[in-house]
Chain A
Amino acid sequence: MDNDDDHKPVRPVLWARALLVLPFVAMLWVSSYNKVEPMVAGVPFFYWYQLLWILIAAGLIGIVYRVER
């Protein structure tokens, strides 16, 4: 996975980096997810929504990485 262009400088792409604000907004807006419904497979919203954001944030970082390569 590691190759020679690993040491080339990364050119920041601002619109992509702006995506990285979303996880902060979502997680700090606590009142938006402090509820039981809708449940998924018996898991209250509060729990599955925050777990889902782990994946969304990882996906966003992946996108920024791709764009800036």
Chain B
Amino acid sequence: MAVNWTALTIFIALFVFITFLGFFAGRWRRGDLSQLHEWGLGGRRFGTVVSWFLIGGDLYTAYTFIAVPALLFGAGAVGFFAVPYTVMIYPLLYLVFPRLWSVSRKHGYVTSADFVRGRFGNRWLALVVSLTGIVATMPYIALQLVGMQVVIGAMGVETSGFLGDLPLIIAFVVLAAFTYSSGLRAPAMIAVVKDTLIYIVVFAIIVAVPLHLGGFGPVFAAIPKAKLLLAPPPGGSMGSFAAYGSLALGSACALFLYPHSITGILASSSGRVVRRNAALLPAYSLLLGLLALVGFMAVAIGVASMPEMAEGFKRYSNNFSVPALIIAMFPSWFVGVAFAAIAIGALVPAAIMSIATANTYTRNIYKEFLNPGCTDAQESQMAKIVSLVIKAGALVFIFFVPLQYALWLQLLGGVWMIQTVPSVILGLYTRFFNGWALVLGWVSGFGVGTWLVIQNNFAPVYPFSVFGTTVPCYIALATLLLNLVVTTVLSLVLNAVASDKHRDATVASDYV
């Protein structure tokens, strides 16, 4: 592929601009960055608008914007499960997470494991929650790099060999530097620019492509019948319907438990800001839903059979479908803007994810187990350093480990993350569960879930058999049920013989 100089120039210019913004952000609503809640939560001061950009920019990552359309492009209707998934997350956000915000504000919790530590008085349970968050997030950060790699490659920049890795390394060094110096304020400020660009780009595509093709009719007419809808279930099976629904519900349950989501929520200035955003953030879902359809537009335009796109598809497979459509349809300068939006869209979540994992490592592992006497300044310093280590780890991962492993680990990450539903989400409502019962419930869900995913050759949906009916179900959701049963039964037993209810550091009025 020849280098597209116009696109590349605009891309670099936008990148330089957000770099300055990232460093400048440290001075914005200035706080004492040697305090963990200032560096790692922006001082819990973000109002409705900034939180909207921050949480939106955090949840709807560059990888989402590449992978969801790519799934529709390749697999068809089933890829659309991202839409019911994002429909279901916001009622959960409205109902559950203002409670977490309020108890966290009251007791100075920075992570969900902090809350679990206070609520159940069991530091091993908190360790389990913290480690789950860290291992589930690491491959997610690595996948953000994939989105970046695809757009850099699509502009004709060589992406193999050491020179090819250089643009990614530079981008990540820049990211690491401004995250280190500005903390959560940097991605919050950059998110405003990034999402404005993303909204412009998506609406341009959504308008321009159907205009070019003569409406949405030809877009859907180009899709093979078998991919346009879910396959109707055969007799004796709940088939693709159960698979589709359980994927959406299971993903929705896990989403807000990821450390980066919790960080975005806790950085809000009040529980009401969280509630308001539950009604306002769906604007991003609409964007994602429309973008998903771009996968079909790429089919209709026929990008896969264009000779100039062959190399891109060979290298990046279906992840190349959106970039290919953008190149095929738009002038070079717009390609530069669009690709910059995607690349910056990778930086924002990557920054928040590294801050969030650094927060939980520092609070729940370093301070809890390794250096209990550390000062606030030492704590904040440790978090800054860990955020660097995590980003370096993600880079190493993407350069030396096959992409397939990152995808597998991300799938497993979802199965693992959902196992913290009883401790974190249910823990916000009831103290019925016993700390050790929660640990063992987590162990059962984690163990069986991991085993099933491997047995299933890393496909997320397993065909369970229930009373002679085949119920294909997302493994995460099924193993959450197992976890709940184990936790409940053991809690009944342990509450009778060795209740730990007196260890609750919170009171009912903390949850408003």
Residues of A within 8 A of B98 (CB): 10
Q: B272: which of A6, A20, A23, A46 is its contact (CB, 8 Å)?
A: A6
User: A47, B80: Cβ atoms under 8 Å?
Assistant: yes
Specify the chain B residue showing the minimal Cβ separation from A56: B87
Q: Give the residue name and chain of the B residue nearest to A5 (CB).
A: B272
Known: A1-B49, A68-B275. 18 other contacts (CB 8 A): A1-B47, A1-B276, A6-B270, A9-B512, A23-B88, A24-B88, A41-B217, A42-B217, A42-B218, A47-B220, A50-B289, A51-B286, A54-B83, A54-B282, A55-B286, A57-B282, A60-B91, A65-B279
Contact B217 A28 (CB under 8 A): no
Q: Does B480 contact A (CB under 8 A)?
A: no
B333 within 8 A of A: no
Instruction: Decide yes or no whether B346 CB sits under 8 A from chain A.
Output: no
B122 surroundings in chain A (CB, below 8 A): none
B275/A10 in contact, CB under 8 A = yes
Q: With a CB–CB cut-off of 8 A, which chain B residues contact A62? A: 279
Interface string of B176-219 (1 = CB under 8 A from A): 00000000000000000000000000000000000000011111
Interface size class of A (residues with CB under 8 A): 35 or more
Scoring B residues 282 to 324 as 1 if CB is less than 8 Å from chain A, else 0, what string do you get?
1101100110010000000000000000000000000000000
User: In the complex the two chains form, is B289's CB within 8 Å of A34's CB?
Assistant: no
Q: Is B14 an interface residue (CB 8 A)?
A: no
Q: In the assembly, what is the distance between CA of A24 and CA of B84, in Å?
A: 9
Chain A CB within 8 A of B245 CB: yes
Cα–Cα, bound, A61→B229 (Å): 29
B452 at the interface (CB under 8 A from A): no
A-B contact count (CB 8 A): 128
Nearest Cβ distance between residue B105 and chain A, in whole angstroms?
9
Q: Which residue of chain B is the closest to A19 with respect to CB atoms? A: B91
Say whether, besides A20-B95, A28-B245, A34-B230, A41 and B215 are in contact (CB < 8 Å).
yes
Question: Would A44 and B47 count as touching, CB distance under 8 A?
Answer: no
Residues in A whose Cβ lies below 8 Å from that of B215: 41-42
A13 within 8 A of B: no
Given the known A-B contacts A46-B80, A50-B80, A65-B279, are A34 and B232 also in contact in the complex, defined by CB atoms under 8 Å?
yes
B132 within 8 A of A: no
Known contacts A34-B241, A44-B220, A55-B282, A65 near B228 by CB under 8 Å: no
Q: In the assembled complex, which residues on chain A have CB atoms less than 8 Å from the CB atom of B512?
A: 9-10
Asked if B272 contacts A53 (CB within 8 A), the reply is no
B276 near A65: Cβ-Cβ < 8 Å: yes
Q: Closest CB-CB distance, A22 to chain B, in whole Å? A: 9
24 A-B residue pairings within 8 Å (CB atoms): A1-B47, A1-B276, A6-B269, A9-B512, A21-B91, A24-B249, A28-B84, A28-B248, A30-B241, A30-B242, A34-B229, A35-B229, A36-B229, A42-B221, A43-B216, A46-B77, A54-B286, A55-B286, A57-B91, A58-B90, A58-B283, A61-B91, A61-B94, A65-B278
